[in-house]
Amino acid sequence: MTFDASRPYNELPALPPAVELESRAVLKACIAARAAIAELKAAGRLIPNQAVLINTIPLLEAQASSEIENIVTTTDQMFLFAGANEGDADPATKEALRYRTALWEGYQALRARPLSTNTAIQICRAIKGVDMGIRRTPGTTLSNDRTREVIYTPAEGEALLREKLANWEQWMHGTIAGADEIDPLVRMAVGHYQFEAIHPFTDGNGRTGRVINLLYLVEQQLLDIPVLYLSRHILRSRTEYYRGLQAVTEAGAWEPWLLYMLEGVTATARWTMNKIDGVQQLLQETAERIRRDAEAIYSRELAELIFVRPYCRISHVVDAGLAKRQTASTYLKELAAIGVLQEHKIGREKLFLNPGFIDLLKRD
């Protein structure tokens, strides 16, 4: 049967794929990816304050994953509006911040129940900020950005979509015969293709699928917290990403797709780990600098606090129990005076930016 881009792909084959997935090349790439992700997991455990990771890496991931879908904002805007005044952000930043929230909610939900079709619906709703359900009406197509030509038409009919999603769910959980023998990273890559090919929603499929990738790594205990910046890889090679998905559909080209995803895991696990090392080092230097230049206000907790997020508010110091409001304000002003922080006014609120931290997070 030949694939016709303009007709609903109701024949999308159920998983598992009818090919040998774990070729020599795939196994080799898989070993490298497993090693990199294991190191990232260990590095995450060593960092004293996990909030540093939780508050920063998911924002980078959210920015990149949204940009893949042409929802374009900057990491500066993300950091600035995260956690407060979200309503004042521009629409693209708001939407990208919702991706971060969706990732966080999905992570929380893993404690209550395993990843499922319902988790996907919940994530898609959180990303889109409106009620979303499995597609009921025809008309969803994927087209080339430039030429507008239709390149893929997903299956139609809610019952059929739900049936395909049930199969996808079983694959992810290894309850299909043979699936539990496949490495979880390969299962993630296969599952991501399948989810995108099913394309259960009218919009938000790409982002929902990418949130699910990260949650899956947590569910499979390859990571403790969802702090892999995988969309960085995808954004930087978007054409290859789209082409890879399409080539599985058109030609059953699983191997290049799996290699693409596994290399992405390896590269971004290393990138994220380097960032963690960099943050640790900068925190150490900054703590020493405060002790030297502002000894009277120095405490290790204060130094750590300005690395919990790139923008610190007086209320953060108060909430951390380091000082009452007046003193907290003095602390941050003093840190600005010695050049560790920069004071900004947003509306009536004072924000203290940690420029070294921001530069580090943004640098490649």
Per CB under 5 A, 304 contacts Mg ion? no
- 309/139 Cα distance (integer angstroms): 43
Rounded to whole angstroms, the Cα distance separating 152 from 250 reads 10
Q: By the 8 A CB rule, do 279 and 307 touch? A: yes
Q: Which is nearer to Mg ion, 141 or 329 (CB)?
A: 141
Among 32, 84, 150, 151, binds ligand ADP (CB under 6 A): 151
Q: Which two tokens stand for residue 142?
A: 């994927």
Tell the smallest beta-carbon distance from residue 231 to ligand ADP (Å). 10
The residue number with the shortest CB distance to ligand ADP is 206
Residue 44 binds which entry of ligand ADP, Mg ion, none, CB below 5-8 Å type-dependent: none
Alpha-carbon distance 246 to 112, whole Å?
A: 35
In this chain, which of 67, 196, 219, 255 binds ligand ADP, going by CB under 6 A?
196
Q: Does 209 bind ligand ADP (CB under 6 A)?
A: yes
Does 95 engage in binding with ligand ADP (CB under 6 A)?
Answer: no
User: Contact region for ligand ADP (CB under 6 A) — 27-35, 199-207, 269-277, 292-300?
Assistant: 199-207
Subset of 68-87 contacting ligand ADP (CB under 6 A):
68-69
DSSP annotation string for 98-140: HHHHHHHHHHHHHHHS-S-HHHHHHHHHHHHTS---S--SS--
Q: Name the residue nearer to ligand ADP (CB basis): 264 or 356.
A: 264
DSSP character for 337? H
Decide: is 142 part of the binding site for ligand ADP (CB under 6 A).
yes
Least distance from C-beta 257 to Mg ion, angstroms? 21
Applying CB under 5 A, does 196 fall inside the site for Mg ion? no
Q: Does 142 bind Mg ion (CB under 5 A)?
A: no
Footprint on residues 221-250 left by ligand ADP (CB under 6 A): 242, 245-246, 249
Q: CA 35, CA 30: separation in Å to the nearest integer?
A: 9
191-209 residues labelled b (16+ CB within 10 A) or e (exposed):
bbbbbbbbbbbbbbbbbbb
Q: Using H for helix, E for strand and C for coil, what is the string for 283-332?
A: HHHHHHHHHHHCHHHCCHHHHHHCCCCCEECHHHHHHCCCCCHHHHHHHH
Using CB under 6 A as the binding rule, whether residue 41 contacts ligand ADP is answered as: no
Is residue 203 near ligand ADP by the rule CB under 6 A? yes
Question: If binding is defined by CB under 6 A, does position 67 make contact with ligand ADP?
Answer: no
Q: From the CB of residue 20, how many other CB atoms can be counted at a distance below 10 Å? A: 9
Angle at 199 between CA 197 and CA 201, to 5 degrees: 180
Binds 320: which of Mg ion, ligand ADP, none (CB < 5-8 Å by kind): none
12, 168 contact by CB (below 8 A): no
Q: Using CB under 5 A, which residues numbered 48 to 107 contact Mg ion?
A: 69
Closest CB to Mg ion among 68 and 282? 68
Q: Cβ of residue 66: shortest distance to Mg ion, in angstroms?
A: 10
For residues 202 and 211, give the distance between their C-alpha atoms in angstroms, rounded to a whole number.
17
If one asks whether residue 253 binds ligand ADP (CB under 6 A), the answer comes out as no
**Residue 15: helix, strand or coil by DSSP?**
coil
Task: Specify the residue, 65 or 167, whose C-beta has the smaller distance to Mg ion.
Answer: 65
3-class DSSP state for residue 142? strand
150 binds ligand ADP (CB under 6 A): no
- Which residue number, 190 or 358, has a Cβ lying nearer to ligand ADP? 190
**CA dist., res. 84 & res. 279, Å (int):** 23
203 near Mg ion, rule: CB under 5 A: yes
Binding region for ligand ADP (CB under 6 A) out of 32-40, 206-214, 305-313, 347-355: 206-214
Of 2 and 147, the one with the shorter C-beta distance to Mg ion is: 147
| Residues lying near ligand ADP in the complex (CB under 6 A) | 68-69, 142, 151-152, 196-197, 203-207, 209, 242, 245-246, 249
